[in-house]
Amino acid sequence: MVLGGELVESFFKSFVFIPLMKLIEFQQYLKEQHINLAFFVHPDPTLIYFTQMKPSYAMLFITPQKATFFLTKLDHHPHVKGITVKTLQKGWEKQFSTKKAIRVGINKECLPIASKERIKKIFPQAKFVDVTKQLSQLRSLKTPAEVEKIARACAIVTKAFNDLIQELPRRTLKTELDIAFFLEKRMREQGAEVAFPTIVANGKNAAIPHHLTSTQKLKRGFVVLDFGAQYQQYCADMTRVLFLGKPTEKEKEFYQLLLDAQLAALAEVQLGKKFGDLDKIARKKLGKYSSYFIHSLGHGVGIEVHEQPSFLQEGKIQSQQVFTIEPGIYFPGKFGLRIEDTLLFDGNIKILTKATKELVQIPW
């Protein structure tokens, strides 16, 4: 029987169907790999992924048939379809402990050594299997509900930026930190958290891609703003450049060159394209300045601001991936520029961070 798509979607959404779908897919994988149990512990983002909540401490056990989420008494205990939620109590280990030679899945990327030693005691005969790759593949293909949250986070970021360019000419913001606080306040007012510490880099500070936003007084020159919101656990990542005062022709040319590089890479986003090839396209456009582009072109975005797909590994664009395109050029001791969008590829490219990419000039 085939039901209308919209009806099915709204029906299942009310049951937090989305993580369940991914959970079932993961359990299927465990079954195929003859993994008896997968174990995840705080602060592994896998916990957030399957439960859509961010507890202060938790553990998650997933078997091919069952998932059990252990929380302390300090956190809200959610209802999650397909997952049994329990309170972590003394002696919880006994529930699972076995001397059998089972296969236990772990996420090597996020498993503290102390936790590993602890589960070794619970399963002394276990063989540990790394499931990191499978998890990042699952997470890199976004469900419609995840896309909705990321799009919302991106809209929040865009609104904060638009508010900033209205505010700046009033000269109420005097330092890099003032701008960062303004953006972060605007994001929080819209119901989001800050996905990572806001980068505001003015003048030569922007030559350092991850400049630590300072109390430096704002002065004539470029201002690079790299910031992100996290809405219901899902991130947005955007970088824009402003100019305080009037840019010279040369400064305008640098900005345009970088924008052209970003647009050239965006224009080549298509199914099956290698991420590495997009990177090459941007570098080619930068020509003799490409050696000043000192990081990769982008990264996946989801519950973490940096996740799969990676532009550094061999990988091709798949449908339902969300990632950034962010070329930059950095001239040590002089200035730096970066332009970044978060986008969805679902067969077509959809740029989710919609703030203007024209060089905004603020009289200064």
* Pick 157 or 164: Cβ nearer Mn ion: 157
User: Residue 299's CB: how many other CB atoms inside 10 A?
Assistant: 23
Instruction: Kindly write down the DSSP assignment for every residue of 243-306, as one continuous string.
Output: EES---HHHHHHHHHHHHHHHHHHHT--TT-BHHHHHHHHHHHHGGGGGG--S-S-EE-SSSSS
Which region, judged by CB under 5 A, interacts with Mn ion, from 11-19, 59-67, 79-87, 232-240?
232-240
* Pick 218 or 343: Cβ nearer Mn ion: 343
* Pick 104 or 343: Cβ nearer Mn ion: 343
Residue 279 lies near Mn ion (rule: CB under 5 A)? no
Binding mask 318-337 for Mn ion (x = CB under 5 A): ------x-------------
* Pick 178 or 237: Cβ nearer Mn ion: 237
CB of 301 to Mn ion, least distance (A): 8
Residue 184 lies near Mn ion (rule: CB under 5 A)? no
The bridge status of strand 84-87 relative to strand 103-106 is unpaired
What is the SS3 assignment for 221? strand
The bridge status of strand 360-362 relative to strand 349-351 is unpaired
* Pick 53 or 286: Cβ nearer Mn ion: 286
CB of 9 to Mn ion, least distance (A): 30
Structure token pair of residue 103: 């296969």
Residue 27 lies near Mn ion (rule: CB under 5 A)? no
CB of 254 to Mn ion, least distance (A): 20
Residue 341 lies near Mn ion (rule: CB under 5 A)? no
What is the SS3 assignment for 85? strand
Which region, judged by CB under 5 A, interacts with Mn ion, from 47-55, 68-76, 231-239, 261-269?
231-239
> C-alpha angle 142/145/149, rounded to 5°?
90
Residue 237 lies near Mn ion (rule: CB under 5 A)? yes
What is the SS3 assignment for 208? coil
Closest to 237 in 3D by CA, of 312, 292, 315, 158: 158
Residue number of the CB closest to Mn ion reads: 237
Which stretches of the chain bind Mn ion, using CB under 5 A? 237, 324
